[in-house]
Amino acid sequence: MSLMSLTAVELGKKIKAKEVTVTEAVTAALDAIEAKEKKVNSFVTVDREGALKRAEEVQKMIDEGTLTGPLAGVPVAIKDNMCTKDLLTTCSSKILYNFKPTYTAEAVENLEKAGAVIIGKTNMDEFAMGSTTETSAYGATKNPWNEAHVPGGSSGGSCAAVAAEECSYALGSDTGGSIRQPSSFCGVTGIKPTYGTVSRYGLIAYGSSLDQIGPIAKDVTDCATILEAIASYDKKDSTSIARDDLKFTDALVDDVKGLKIGIPRDYFGEGLDPEVKEAVLNAAKVLEEKGAVVEEFDLSLVEYAIPAYYVIACAEASSNLARFDGVKYGYRAKEYEGLHNMYKKTRSEGFGPEVKRRIMLGSFVLSSGYYDAYYLKALRTKALIKKVFDEAFAKYDVILGPAAPTTAPKLGESLSDPIKMYLGDIYTISVNLAGLPGISLPCGKDSNGLPIGLQLIGDCFKEKNIIRAAYAFEQTREYEHSPLA
């Protein structure tokens, strides 16, 4: 059995027990990347030299007893929008083709303190804008279950790398479902924590009020363990929250007796694939048989989530991306006349079409005369959506639904119709608007053999409820390795 077939926690135990060296684990990951990358294209940068050097350092610390955590020595891949000191960080965009940060993102630093070994940076939709990992300047990532299909996005590279077993686990970021939707498409598990739980310092911003870093792995145990390692209060991030209890692994108990689970009727209407609906409702039945109290209820305002999200996210993106102008770092146009022309040509040549579309949309909704009509209205809608969830969580511990309306579409299908791509985020977006935690985990496959994801949503700071429910469900089924694994 390949070392990459193990979960991150299992591999960590073997390293601690001296059954495997850190160098052997890292070499196994690097060899897997070499063997599979032509088919998957899940990495933008692979740092073989740096990873092997770091493996020796980590091994030494494990031997000395200074590193004792469950992730010590385990190889990890990082989404390419998190800064890594002296290692290329491109956001899968031409405009940052040569950017090597001078510092490391706080979440990544926390992983390094836990003894993780970074093997490379994963492909993504350019600046995290997209749901298929096809808007990347480095070409599309393929789904390890079927290479003719997309892996989802924007964390498609991270999810595909875990599903193809090129790394033990990965970090992704979630602005409107960018961890949960590709996890669903790739048959892996991903958590989007409560907003403010993981520091955004060093995460290249898309929508600052929505972005959150989270783990992607083979199972719930790994995700809870990784989340425990990366979650921390950080005074460098003004939105970071000091939480008393970050022991997420305490929730790994196979017991859901008395847990109240609500199923929104609105999530099971028009547009939901019948096979996805059946698999998700079967998962609800499994939890009910294990002792959970499952009921249907009405969650209103669902249809307003997508327009509110795209107005807010694009407004924030147009502001955040103004800094990429060719002056201090990144790409600069070769020929230009004067400063304004340099800005214009650099941004025209450096950004891809989806990023330009969202910058234009964001600039429009923030412009005078439209600010009140669109942006303020979207913020009010966001507050109403949060209120609706507050009311739901007064009755329920967990909300259960699909992670995406369909399984992974074919490559090329979504980009031809951006609106269709935006509508694919219908079940994930509200979670970001309300700052809630959510988890996606595999719950079956469709008739084409593509994975189906189950989404569990919790109230703010109640990750333990969704981890507990997800873990209990996971105990009823085996992890399925993708054909490329």
Whether residue 407 contacts residue 450, with contact meaning beta carbons closer than 8 Å, is answered with yes
* Predicted structure pTM score: 0.97
Q: Over range 209-214, report the average pLDDT.
A: 97
Residues of the chain above pLDDT 90, percent: 94
According to the model, what pLDDT value does residue 152 have?
Answer: 95
CATH of the domain at 482: 3.90.1300.10
According to the model, what pLDDT value does residue 301 have?
Answer: 83
According to the model, what pLDDT value does residue 271 have?
Answer: 87
According to the model, what pLDDT value does residue 421 have?
Answer: 77
Q: Please tell me the distance from the alpha carbon of residue 363 to that of residue 208, in angstroms, as a whole number.
A: 16
- Which residues contact residue 472 at a Cβ distance below 8 angstroms, ignoring those fewer than 6 apart? 253, 254, 255, 256, 287, 290, 292
According to the model, what pLDDT value does residue 424 have?
Answer: 81
Beta strand ranges found along 48-145 (DSSP E) = 75-79, 117-122
Per DSSP bridges, beta strands 117-122 and 43-46 are antiparallel
Q: Over range 438-463, report the average pLDDT.
A: 98
Q: For residue range 107-157, what is the model confidence (pLDDT) as tens digits?
A: 999 999 999 999 999 999 999 999 999 999 999 999 999 999 999 989 999
Q: Which domain holds residue 19?
A: 1-485
Out of 154, 173, 232, 482, the active site residue is: 154
According to the model, what pLDDT value does residue 375 have?
Answer: 96
Among 38, 298, 327, CA closest to 166: 38
Among 251, 242, 80, CA closest to 154: 80
Active site residue 158: no
According to the model, what pLDDT value does residue 422 have?
Answer: 79
**Per-residue pLDDT at 254 exceeds 90:** yes
Query: Angle formed by the axes of helices 22-40 and 48-64, to 10°?
Result: 150
Q: For residue range 11-51, what is the model confidence (pLDDT) as tens digits?
A: 999 999 999 999 999 999 999 999 999 999 999 999 999 99
Out of 36, 79, 121, 192, the active site residue is: 79
Q: Please tell me the distance from the alpha carbon of residue 156 to that of residue 375, in angstroms, as a whole number.
A: 29
Q: For residue range 70-82, what is the model confidence (pLDDT) as tens digits?
A: 999 999 999 999 9
Q: Which two tokens stand for residue 425?
A: 């985020």
Q: Please tell me the distance from the alpha carbon of residue 429 to that of residue 192, in angstroms, as a whole number.
A: 11
Active site residue 238: no
**Per-residue pLDDT at 215 exceeds 80:** yes
Active site residue 168: no
3-state class (DSSP) for residue 40 = helix
The DSSP element (H or E) to which 216 belongs, if any, is: strand 212-217
According to the model, what pLDDT value does residue 258 have?
Answer: 95
* Neighbouring C-beta atoms of residue 10, cutoff 10 Å: 18
Beta strand ranges found along 252-331 (DSSP E) = 260-264, 293-297
* Neighbouring C-beta atoms of residue 258, cutoff 10 Å: 9
Q: Please tell me the distance from the alpha carbon of residue 452 to that of residue 59, in angstroms, as a whole number.
A: 38
Cα–Cα separations (whole angstroms), residue 221 to 166, 244, 475 = 19, 21, 11
Out of 178, 183, 318, 414, the active site residue is: 178
Q: Over range 255-265, report the average pLDDT.
A: 97
Structural domain total, the chain = 1
According to the model, what pLDDT value does residue 270 have?
Answer: 84
Q: For residue range 389-437, what is the model confidence (pLDDT) as tens digits?
A: 999 999 999 999 999 999 999 999 877 777 777 778 899 999 999 999 9
Residues of the chain above pLDDT 70, percent: 100
Mean pLDDT score of the chain: 96
DSSP, res 177: S
